[in-house]
A and B are shown apart, each in its own frame.
Chain A
Amino acid sequence: AQTVTQSQPEMSVQEAETVTLSCTYDTSESDYYLFWYKQPPSRQMILVIRQEAYKQQNATENRFSVNFQKAAKSFSLKISDSQLGDAAMYFCAYRSEGGSTLGRLYFGRGTQLTVWP
């Protein structure tokens, strides 16, 4: 089964600074998708960014970008110019594309991000 590991239970960053959240995963599949979801105190899960495994180019969404290293099975999220509203629990997720696990999302345990003013 696929596993997703977030080794940083908590991170903190000063407002306007940059922070990087780590995520590694284990899979034998070649086709898959990776996601970062954000869950603020309201507990609404919000998609932050998506990366297709077949694309070498790293995904970017405004202040959010990823460093996708397929060979190393690493998928980190960089948040630039951090804002108070970025404070949330961040989940890394892997979406399987094959067989009986098609469509299933595998989540990491999450990283709680605190943003200091």
Chain B
Amino acid sequence: DTEVTQTPKHLVMGMTNKKSLKCEQHMGHRAMYWYKQKAKKPPELMFVYSYEKLSINESVPSRFSPECPNSSLLNLHLHALQPEDSALYLCASSHWDTSYEQYFGPGTRLTVT
């Protein structure tokens, strides 16, 4: 199984809503990543978890709150977002100790109204 799954596929939320994005992998990877991607731009790294611990936070606003409950699951909690946060949110996973490629999920298309 070489699949990273993300739910939901699409999400529309108001600026006062609280929602969560979910990412799951069963490849035994111990590194998981959240990226934000605007149209026709490369993905921008937001967070990296290594062995369920946050190892990189790219100075992301606190309205984005990541969580890694176990080695297979990664969440991104959203609260009080702005319209400019509308984007495709990609999750990825990889081995950590060996230099393997990142496998990406299909993404969640987020629209903030």
Q: Which residues of B contact A97 (CB under 8 A)?
A: 99
Chain B interface category by residue count? 20 to 34
| Size range of the chain A interface in the assembly | 20 to 34
A89 to chain B, nearest CB (A): 7
Given A35-B101, A104-B56: A45 in contact with B90 (beta carbons within 8 A): yes
Q: Does A78 contact B (CB under 8 A)?
A: no
In the complex the two chains form, what is the Cα distance from A33 to B101 in whole Å? 9
Q: Interface majority SS on B: helix, strand, loop or mixed?
A: strand
Task: Give a binary string over A73-117; 1 marks a CB under 8 Å from any B CB, 0 the rest.
Answer: 000000000000000010100010100000111011110100000
With A103-B50, A103-B94 already in contact, the answer to whether A44 and B99 are too (CB < 8 A) is no
| Residues of A that sit less than 8 Å from B by CB | 33, 35, 37, 42-47, 50, 52, 89, 91, 95, 97, 103-105, 107-110, 112
